[in-house]
């Protein structure tokens, strides 16, 4: 029996309508159940890519593959004993890529819940293609269990000071109860909770800054079991799948496939509503942003976009280490700001500079020359997903208020992306957590007049290694997507 420890987590209060919506979202991202993992089973009972089989399904109607077709792959999972798996739940990422063409596209995965999976790729370039499958298996159940069993596994240090007296205490949304008094820093406008253990001598009002705190070890998780399940699969299952011939006439996609876009010759080509143009020169970017106010809110992945602009444009900029940031091109009347989101956040930041995004949006007048860019995911994926759902609901309310008073305001939202996995992140910040949170973000903002930059697919489809802060070629393509949303008719 698993004892859930959510009882000491404090989430924002929900209205009855929000409670219904949250339940629907949780059901929509529910992961397939697998046989119980406790007590821990042998590694040999888990998914093994070396024993698993991959079959290219014949083209519908037969014949040679051509550009615009859909490639379908059937995966059958086996364990290390060579026994076929009878249940689903493996986390699989897939892509086709051609190094020779600097081309890549993400695949769409369907779990048949019986140990078999289908992966569908659009064939979008001429030449050979490769497929790389990444599939953690039973470890997903451990990740889900860990989130609710130990939601406070990452802590935050808060510094208090009065004169020469300094103290540091632990803060969190999920703060285990003790005999110590608590400082309640719940935001009065958004209702977003945040708590710290009270310093022994100083008052709660003496809080001055916050930084990353200790990471709690999870001794009840076999780290070797987890690593082997999740990460060795990157080294397996790379196979050459087919040769693709160029279609002679219509190159449109065949069938219904939900793919954001693809890379060809290193350039991202969108398959959705807004074409991505190339803004390769400073003059093209300047012309696009002339007379614009661009306000960026979020984590360091949004700060990376801000830094991209600083390098591309000759801005006068204030650049403190943790923000807020301000950049100005007075000649072209371009103003760009960045501010980090409110807690939880794991880099060092002054207390007075931790502002909730919803509160910031409520202070923006908006208008045709105002661009809002939002990205919040990297610091929240270690918490139960309910926290993220409620934070995004709060931001959505502020977005809707802004669009009501200024409907011509442009709002761009950056999705999450797969990342590199450092030692502690193997369990604490898995791509599975990121994927689940990313699904929540897309659901929360579905049907609202916002532009999504699909950082997930733009990173997954690229041949460069995954990184929390994607490599410059990926960022350049992301920023071209941003500029294309601001200036859909302009390019270099």
pLDDT tens for residues 7-65?
678 888 999 999 999 999 999 999 888 776 544 467 777 777 778 887 888 887 777 77
CA nearest 92: which of 43, 137, 123, 139?
137
The span from the CA of 87 to the CA of 32, in Å, is 8
Q: Are strands 165-172 and 195-197 parallel, antiparallel or unpaired?
A: antiparallel
pLDDT per residue as tens digits for the range 60-106: 777 777 888 888 888 898 888 899 999 898 888 888 888 888 999 99
How many of the other CB atoms lie within 10 Å of CB of 374? 24
Judged by DSSP in three states, 246 sits in coil
Distance of CA 177 to the CA centre of its chain: 31
**238: confidence class by pLDDT, cuts 50, 70, 90:** very low
What is this structure's pTM?
Answer: 0.90
Instruction: Give me the half-sphere count of Cα atoms (radius 13 Å) on the Cβ side of residue 286.
Output: 14
pLDDT per residue as tens digits for the range 440-470: 999 999 999 999 999 999 999 999 989 999 9
The span from the CA of 384 to the CA of 393, in Å, is 15
Q: DSSP secondary-structure letter at 26?
A: H
Token pair listed for 388: 């993220």
Structural domains of the chain, ranges and CATH numbers in brackets:
43-136+228-259 (2.60.40.10), 268-486 (3.40.50.1110)
DSSP string, 421-464: --TTHHHHT-HHHHHHHHHHHHHHTTTSS-EEE-HHHHHHTSSS
Total residues found in the chain within this entry: 492
Judged by DSSP in three states, 282 sits in helix
pLDDT per residue as tens digits for the range 306-328: 999 988 887 766 555 667 888 89
Contact 421, 430 (CB under 8 A): yes
Lowest mean pLDDT: which of 114-123, 256-265, 368-377?
A: 256-265
The span from the CA of 278 to the CA of 280, in Å, is 6
**23, 70, 368, 413, 447 from 97: Cα distances, Å:** 38, 15, 39, 27, 32
Strand order in the sheet with 410-414: 316-318, 325-329, 334-340, 293-298, 370-375, 410-414, 451-453
Judged by DSSP in three states, 330 sits in coil
């Amino acid at each position: 029996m698993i004892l859930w420890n959510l009882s000491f987590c404090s989430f924002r209060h929900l209205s009855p309508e929000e409670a219904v919506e949250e339940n629907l979202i949780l059901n929509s991202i529910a992961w397939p159940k697998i046989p119980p993992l406790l007590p821990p089973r042998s590694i040999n009972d888990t998914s093994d890519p070396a024993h698993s089989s991959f079959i290219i399904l014949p083209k519908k109607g037969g014949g040679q593959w051509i550009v615009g077709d859909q490639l379908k792959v059937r995966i059958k999972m086996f364990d290390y004993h060579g026994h076929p798996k009878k249940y689903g739940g493996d986390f699989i990422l897939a892509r086709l890529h051609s190094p020779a063409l600097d081309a890549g596209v993400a695949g769409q995965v369907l779990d048949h819940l019986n140990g078999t999976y289908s992966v569908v790729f659009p064939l979008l370039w001429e030449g050979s293609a490769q497929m790389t499958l990444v599939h953690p298996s039973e470890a997903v159940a451990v990740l889900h269990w860990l989130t609710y069993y130990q939601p406070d596994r990452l802590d935050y240090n808060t510094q208090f000071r009065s004169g020469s007296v300094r103290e540091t205490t632990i803060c969190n949304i999920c703060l285990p109860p003790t005999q110590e008094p608590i400082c309640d820093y719940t935001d009065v406008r958004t209702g977003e909770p945040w708590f710290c253990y009270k310093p022994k001598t100083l008052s709660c009002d003496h809080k001055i800054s916050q930084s990353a705190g200790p990471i709690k070890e999870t001794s009840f998780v076999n780290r070797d079991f987890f690593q082997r399940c999740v990460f060795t699969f990157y080294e397996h299952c790379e196979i050459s799948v087919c040769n693709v011939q160029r279609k002679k006439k219509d190159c449109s996609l065949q069938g219904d496939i939900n793919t954001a876009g693809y890379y060809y010759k290193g350039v991202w080509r969108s398959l959705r509503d807004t074409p991505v143009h190339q803004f390769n020169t400073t003059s093209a970017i300047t012309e696009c942003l002339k007379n614009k106010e661009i306000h960026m809110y979020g984590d360091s992945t949004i700060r990376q976009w801000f830094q991209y602009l600083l390098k591309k444009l000759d801005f006068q900029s204030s650049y403190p280490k943790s923000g807020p940031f301000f950049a100005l091109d007075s000649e072209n009347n371009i103003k760009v700001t960045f501010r980090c989101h409110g807690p939880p956040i794991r880099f060092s930041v002054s207390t007075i500079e931790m502002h909730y995004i919803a509160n910031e949006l409520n202070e923006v007048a908006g208008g045709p020359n105002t661009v809002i860019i939002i990205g919040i995911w990297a610091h929240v994926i270690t918490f139960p997903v309910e926290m993220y759902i409620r934070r995004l609901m709060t931001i959505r309310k502020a977005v809707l208020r802004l669009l009501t008073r200024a409907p011509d305001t442009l709002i761009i939202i950056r999705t999450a992306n797969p990342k590199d996995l450092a030692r502690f992140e193997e369990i604490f910040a898995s791509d599975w957590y990121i994927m689940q949170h990313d699904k929540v973000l897309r659901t929360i903002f579905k049907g609202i007049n916002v532009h999504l930059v699909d950082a997930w697919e733009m990173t997954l489809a690229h041949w460069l290694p995954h990184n929390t802060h994607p490599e410059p070629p990926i960022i350049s393509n992301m920023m071209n997507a941003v500029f294309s949303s601001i200036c859909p008719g302009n390019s270099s």
